Chains A and B, each alone.
Chain A
Amino acid sequence: MSEQNNDEREITLTVNGKTYRETVETRIHLADFLRLQLKLTGTHLGCEHGVCGACTILVDGEAVRSCLMLAVQANGSDVTTIEGLADGEELTPIQKAFSEHHALQCGFCTSGMIMSLTAYIAENPGADEEAIREAISGNICRCTGYQSIVAAGVAVAAK
């Protein structure tokens, strides 16, 4: 009930290199906080029950489903979203590989896919196809059939 749920807290966190001090409702999950409060709409909500992976972001370098974490839990964290990857107009190798391999169609799962692979390949350079498939097994794509996403991941991991 809203009258019981409008409990608010102040949080401080870094998002894409910028520090924010914000007052947030305790019930708001991190994805809604990023989208509604910080207007970072590149993080998408596909299921809001932690299965589709579209809302995946990095929290202190780890891939996290931002629909399963409350904004208040991110207090003091260093968060990276899809908007924080490119250096100006210069895309990261994974972003470029997605385009080269036609690893996106509608673009809705793409942010989460790229964030999952960014975290995974940083930890596992040289990962093979099976490992890349495993790495994105928590991200659902309805358009591509995954093959092109896996190819993009393998190409970057091999570099």
Chain B
Amino acid sequence: MGMRYFGTSVQRQEDKKFLMGQGRYVDDIEFVGMLHGAFLRAEIAHAKINGIDASAAREIPGVHAVYTLDDLGDPYPDKPMTTAYASPLLKQTICQHLLAKDEVCFVGQTVALVVAESRHIAEDALSRIVVDYEPLPAVADCRDALDDDAPPTHLGLESNLVGNFYGKFGDIDAAFAEAAHTFKVDFHEHRGGCHAMECRNIITNYDPGKDETTVYLTTQSPFLIRRLMARYFEEDESKIRVICPDVGGGFGPKNGPYAEEFVLAIVSKQLQRPVKWIEDRREHFVATNTQGDQMWHMEIACEDDGKILGARGRVIHDMGAFVPYGLLLPATSVFPLPGPYALPALDVTLDAVFTNKTCTSPVRGAGRPNAAYAMERLIETVARGLKLDPADVRRRNFVRKDQFPYTTGGTLPSGDPAVYDSGDFHSLLDMALYKAGYPGFKKRQAAARQEGRYLGMGISSCIEDTGFGPYEGVKVKVQPSGKVLLQTGAASQGQGHQTVYSQIVAEELGVNIESIVYQSADTGTVPHGVATAGSRVTANAGPASQAAARLVRKKALKLAAEVLEIDEDDLDIEDGVVRAIPESGRNVNISLGDLSFKLTPLMNGKVPEGYEPELEATSFTSSTGVPHASGSSVAEVEVDVETGEVKLVNYVIAHDCGNMINPMLVDGQIVGGVVHGIGNALFERMVYDENAQPMSMNYGEFLLPIATEMPPIQVLHQETPSPHNELGVKGAGEGGTIPAANAIIAAIENALEPFGVVVNDHPVDPQRICELLDAAQDSASAA
């Protein structure tokens, strides 16, 4: 057996270039003759366009062209984009034209494009374009969108309803009829945007000789974008090549599709020049999909001991102005709802509504953090209502270890029943509570209160459906040099794919990890892939890497046995060399490189009989079901009741993503994910005024978590292998984010228990905490 890589914290293979400033992101790429684009965007949330005058912009030296929708030519004025995820539940599938037609429906919508010698000149020219807008009433708040007097978000709409999504199982009426207690709770959830440190960037380069467009793109889904472009342009997929160079973070909104890449593809072809567009940060706030708002009205039925009988309610979900992503967010907000709990009955209806705001699509976790927050709110509500320990309420309702595989009663968006494969939720919670010092906390809290300090502890538990299919393609190929080419379709935005899949292949094949050459995310060269989204890649590309390496190993051993005239069972592969094992009594060997050489003969050569050329294999092996990761978090906070400031004292997360391929990288995903969730709980708020005009367009107004505000984050692991793949792995990318908001909010409520403050909505800022404290004191003095 060669080196052990699986399960060890191998340092990342991709680091050195980034440390030396040699990463190559889209904006670092240049081509001869490249032009630069800048988009004119809607400045009003809802308006009719009576005319666009771009003549002055066209006069500016260095401007090559200005495009409005009509300037793109036929068929584009009558060809809106299509949604990436069509669904029969969509009642109104409104997608935008590549550039605004005669109406703008959110601030940030693409209206025109200037193409110039430089970005500076292109931006100069934008200010010379005159758009005659006729303002229309706008819907800014999803809670108002279905009101009788709500204005239409698009001219001519009779209703702002996009569609409904339902989560229903069990006998909900019986659950509420039999319940000893029922409680109602309403809460508003807001999740911020993408805010990857690299914005969205594009270069399109049309080659007239080949009639082929190459798109350099910051996407998480190169194959999805290629397919959507090919369909829209009615082209063969071979005529569009999507390449992801290094990408500076994704977090969901970089899945696309976006109008900008379609416009740039058209323009590069028309001008026969490479065209670059670099999104600036101000644009990013409005032009890149965000996740928006949800209003939940929930009711829960339970017994005296907190055992839950059923939950029901209604959710209003803000879709933004168009539906590029179908009902993916509503679906992921509802189907994971039972969370880690054995819930006998559920009846939730979600109204997805249009507003005149930036389009929405998943941000780290998609709707799962919303669903987890909803379920955890219900647990908190029960615990508060019945004066029970919130940890005990969780324990009483968790799916037990002996219940796996556990069928929830609900269905996945695919129509398949939701089945939890494995886990141990009780032990995860106990691990987290113990590490956080929960058992002795009440005493510490009481002592602090004596000193006027308000400490609080909050819990949050979750499950995460990870690794959805269908596959990620992986190709492993030994080259005559002995180097092993590893190709995956999956695009990386920093997750460490190169290291993780190299670990699997190096171990399975018996080579040194340094001998692996990694290529990914180029539709022109690598096997088909799907998307880096939903914590899905490791549970797909992992098994495929293992299977492809195993096929190559098998072929190498068979050929080596013939060449060395030895039994295959007497051979092993170590450091890239096939050797006779000591027990065989022979001392012979041949390198994988030499075997590759034999399988790739040139002129006058001959492929060994019974073999296909090349020492290579491609696999699309994936998980056979949905691997469910799980976790419990415990946050400790101190709240200043004078200023409303929340200091994060400590954060513990016990997480189970099955077997860990690289524990260091798992920790990196979990800690980064927790901080994203902390941002959702306390900081990130995209503010719009009543006319749907965005008010938080820079990092002074929109707060992201920074180093000084973060608590120590302790990650504990439990490894319950998934039975759905031989590696036993589950996804780890979003498990930190999903439970975080409730842990923080519940900790604040726990700290402010003496005042009877219930927060419920997130994010919560110091001003809101002061308002809640004032309101609590007012009602106390009134009583």
Contact = CB atoms under 8 A, between A and B. Distances in A.
A99 B195 contact: no
Interface stretch (B307-315, B573-581, B701-709): B701-709
A148 B671 contact: yes
A108 B671 contact: no
Contacts, number: 183
B698 A110 contact: no
B698 A47 contact: yes
A98 B668 contact: no
A92 B120 CA distance: 36
Nearest to A83: B21
B62 interface: yes
A109 B124 contact: no
Contacts of B493: 106
B282 to A, nearest CB: 8
A107 B18 contact: yes
B566 interface: no
A2 B61 contact: yes
A51 B494 contact: no
Contacts of B712: 147
Contacts of A121: none
B706 A140 contact: yes
A12 interface: no
A54 B197 contact: yes
Contact of B196 (A2, A27, A142, A144): A142
B197 A147 contact: no
B27 interface: yes
Interface string A94-110: 01001110101111111
Given A105-B496, A106-B248, A109-B197, A149 B707 contact: yes
A52 interface: yes
Contacts of A108: 23, 25, 196-198, 248-249, 494
B672 A105 contact: yes
A107 B23 contact: yes
Given A41-B28, A51-B699, A104 B713 contact: no
A52 B247 CA distance: 17
A95 to B, nearest CB: 4
B248 A114 contact: no
Interface string A120-143: 000000000000011011011111
Contacts of B124: 1-2, 5
Interface residues of A, number: 57
B672 A143 contact: yes
Contact of B494 (A25, A47, A105, A114): A105
A136 B282 CA distance: 23
Given A1-B124, A99-B15, A40 B21 contact: yes
A27 B24 CA distance: 26
Given A2-B124, A145-B674, A146-B710, A140 B18 contact: no
B61 A3 contact: yes
Given A41-B28, A49-B698, A91-B20, A142 B197 contact: yes
Contacts of A95: 19-20
Contacts of B713: 145, 147
B198 A106 contact: yes
A41 B510 CA distance: 37
Contact of A99 (B11, B251, B282): B11
A71 interface: no
Given A83-B21, A146-B675, A47 B699 contact: yes
B582 interface: no
Nearest to B284: A47
A91 B707 contact: no
Interface string B108-120: 0000000000001
Nearest to B706: A137
Nearest to B251: A142
**Complex A-B, nearest 5 residue pairs according to Cβ-Cβ distance, in ascending order:** A42-B21, A106-B494, A108-B248, A107-B18, A82-B21
Interface of B: 11-12, 14-25, 27-28, 60-62, 120-121, 124-125, 127, 195-199, 246-249, 251, 280-282, 493-496, 664-665, 667-668, 671-676, 698-700, 704-708, 710, 712-713, 736
Interface of A: 1-3, 5, 25, 27-28, 35, 40-49, 51-52, 54, 81-83, 85-86, 91, 95, 98-100, 102, 104-111, 114, 133-134, 136-137, 139-150
17 contacts: A1-B60, A35-B27, A42-B23, A44-B198, A51-B700, A52-B197, A102-B664, A104-B18, A104-B494, A105-B668, A105-B672, A106-B196, A106-B494, A111-B18, A145-B705, A148-B668, A148-B671
